[in-house]
C-alpha cells in the first residue's frame, strides 16, 4: 500500500515540521513532497497534517501513522541488511552439540570468546550423550559437535578432526562390596550389581550403551554428574571418563578397581557439517584448534 519512499517522506516531514525543510533533506522540490503527502492522505481518507502558514503539524491520526511508519522503516532496513549478510555467508545462529564427556569448565570460555567476536550471532549449545551428538549433526540440529565418541555412524557432508582417545576407569563407592576386592573383577562378579548408564539422547540413530554386563540391571541417568552422585551413594557400579574420575579418586570419594576385561578406549573427534560453513562456524573451527589442543582443553 505504501512504498519505502512514501513512509520516509512522512517521517521526514513530521520530524522537520515543513514541506520545504523535508524537501531540502530529501533533495527534492517542496511540491513533490506536498504531492506525496496528499496522495497518502487520499489513500487513507484521513488528514495526517494540519497545514499552517509555513509549517505543518501532525493530527492525532498522523501521530499514530508516523509511529507505525517508523517501525516499518526500521523493519525494512533490517530485512535489507540481514539479507545482504546472509548472501555474504552470515547466519543468525550457530548450534553446537557437546558430548557430556567434555570438560564443562571449557564451555564458559568458549561462549565468552564467541560473543566477543560475534555479538550479533546467537550461540545455541546442547548437551548430548553418545549417538545423540551424531544424531544432532545428521538431523541439522547442530552445525558442530565437540567430543563425539566412537566411529562416525552417519554419511553425508561431514568432516571431523581427531580429539584423541577417551580412557575409562572403573570406580565404586568406598562402602561398596566390590571396594574390598584385591583381584581383577570378572564380568560374573560385576553383573550382580546395577550398572549406572547414561541414556543415549539420539532420536533417530540407534542408541548405544558404553558398558554393561550380560543380564545386568541398569540405572539410567541423564548425565555424568548424576552418574557420580549414584556412584558415591553406592547405588551401582560403572566405568567413567578418566579425566572426570581422577579428582574423586584422589579425594577418596570413589575407589578405582581393576577389571579382568578392560573397557575399550573411545576415539573422540570434533565433527561439523561442511554445508553450513558460515563465517561464525569457520571461526569456531579455527578457535578450537588442532587435535593436540582439542584433547588438552576438552578431554583432560
- For residue range 107-132, list pLDDT tens digits in order: 999 999 999 988 878 899 999 998 99
**Are residues 275 and 152 in contact, defined by beta-carbon separation less than 8 angstroms?**
no
Residues 40 and 117 placed together within one structural domain of the fold = no
Residues 252 and 172 placed together within one structural domain of the fold = yes
Residues 283 and 141 placed together within one structural domain of the fold = yes
Per-residue pLDDT, 85: 65
Residues 198 and 254 placed together within one structural domain of the fold = yes
Show which of 44, 62, 87 is a domain's final residue.
87
Per-residue pLDDT, 152: 65
**Are residues 143 and 114 in contact, defined by beta-carbon separation less than 8 angstroms?**
no
Model confidence pLDDT, tens digit, residues 254-271: 999 999 999 988 899 999
Residues 141 and 184 placed together within one structural domain of the fold = no
Residues 260 and 190 placed together within one structural domain of the fold = yes
- Taking residue 108's Cβ as centre, other Cβ atoms within 10 Å add up to 9
Residues 256 and 285 placed together within one structural domain of the fold = no
Residue 43 has pLDDT above 90, yes or no: yes
Q: To the nearest whole percent, how much of the chain has pLDDT over 70?
A: 95
Per-residue pLDDT, 142: 93
Per-residue pLDDT, 89: 60
Per-residue pLDDT, 151: 67
Residues 129 and 271 placed together within one structural domain of the fold = yes
Show which of 26, 55, 87 is a domain's final residue.
87
Per-residue pLDDT, 146: 94
- Under the banding of pLDDT at 50, 70 and 90, the label for residue 154 is low
Residues 131 and 244 placed together within one structural domain of the fold = no
Residues 288 and 154 placed together within one structural domain of the fold = yes
Which three cell numbers mark 4?
519505502
Show which of 33, 64, 87 is a domain's final residue.
87
CATH code of residue 259: 3.40.190.290
Structural domain range at position 133 = 93-165+267-298
Model confidence pLDDT, tens digit, residues 191-232: 999 999 999 999 888 888 778 888 899 999 999 999 999 999
CATH code of residue 22: 1.10.10.10
Number of domains the chain is built from: 3
Residues 202 and 290 placed together within one structural domain of the fold = no
Residues 237 and 290 placed together within one structural domain of the fold = no
CATH code of residue 111: 3.40.190.10
For the chain, what is the mean pLDDT? 91
CB proximity list for 245: less than 8 A, separation 6 or greater: 169, 171, 254, 256
Amino acid at each position: 500500500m505504501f512504498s519505502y519512499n512514501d513512509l520516509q517522506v512522512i517521517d521526514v516531514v513530521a520530524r522537520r515540521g515543513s514541506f520545504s525543510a523535508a524537501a531540502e533533506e530529501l533533495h527534492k522540490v517542496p511540491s513533490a513532497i506536498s504531492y506525496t503527502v496528499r496522495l497518502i492522505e487520499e489513500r487513507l481518507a484521513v488528514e495526517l497534517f494540519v497545514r499552517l502558514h509555513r509549517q505543518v503539524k501532525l493530527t492525532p491520526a498522523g501521530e499514530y501513522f508516523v509511529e507505525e511508519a517508523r517501525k516499518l522503516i526500521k523493519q525494512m532496513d533490517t530485512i535489507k541488511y540481514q539479507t545482504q549478510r546472509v548472501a555474504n555467508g552470515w547466519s543468525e545462529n550457530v548450534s553446537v552439540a557437546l558430548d557430556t564427556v567434555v570438560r564443562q569448565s571449557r564451555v564458559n570460555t568458549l561462549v565468552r570468546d564467541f560473543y566477543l567476536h560475534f555479538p550479533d550471532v546467537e550461540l545455541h549449545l546442547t548437551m548430548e550423550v553418545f549417538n545423540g551428538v551424531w544424531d544432532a549433526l545428521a538431523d541439522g540440529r547442530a552445525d558442530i559437535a565437540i567430543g563425539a565418541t566412537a566411529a562416525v555412524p552417519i554419511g553425508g557432508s561431514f568432516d571431523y578432526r581427531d580429539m584423541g582417545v577417551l580412557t575409562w576407569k572403573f570406580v565404586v563407592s568406598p562402602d561398596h562390596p566390590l571396594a574390598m576386592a584385591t583381584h581383577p573383577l570378572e564380568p560374573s562378579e560385576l553383573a550382580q550389581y546395577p550398572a549406572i548408564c547414561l541414556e543415549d539422547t539420539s532420536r533417530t540413530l540407534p542408541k548405544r550403551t558404553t558398558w554393561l554386563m550380560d543380564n545386568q540391571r541398569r540405572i539410567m541417568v541423564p548425565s555424568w554428574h548424576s552418574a557420580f552422585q549414584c556412584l558415591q551413594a553406592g547405588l551401582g557400579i560403572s566405568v567413567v571418563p578418566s579425566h572426570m574420575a581422577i579428582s574423586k579418586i584422589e579425594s577418596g570419594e570413589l575407589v578405582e578397581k581393576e577389571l579382568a576385561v578392560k573397557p575399550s578406549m573411545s576415539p573422540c573427534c570434533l565433527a561439523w557439517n561442511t554445508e553450513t560453513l558460515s563465517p561464525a562456524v569457520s571461526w569456531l573451527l579455527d578457535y578450537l584448534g588442532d587435535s593436540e589442543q582439542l584433547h588438552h582443553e576438552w578431554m583432560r
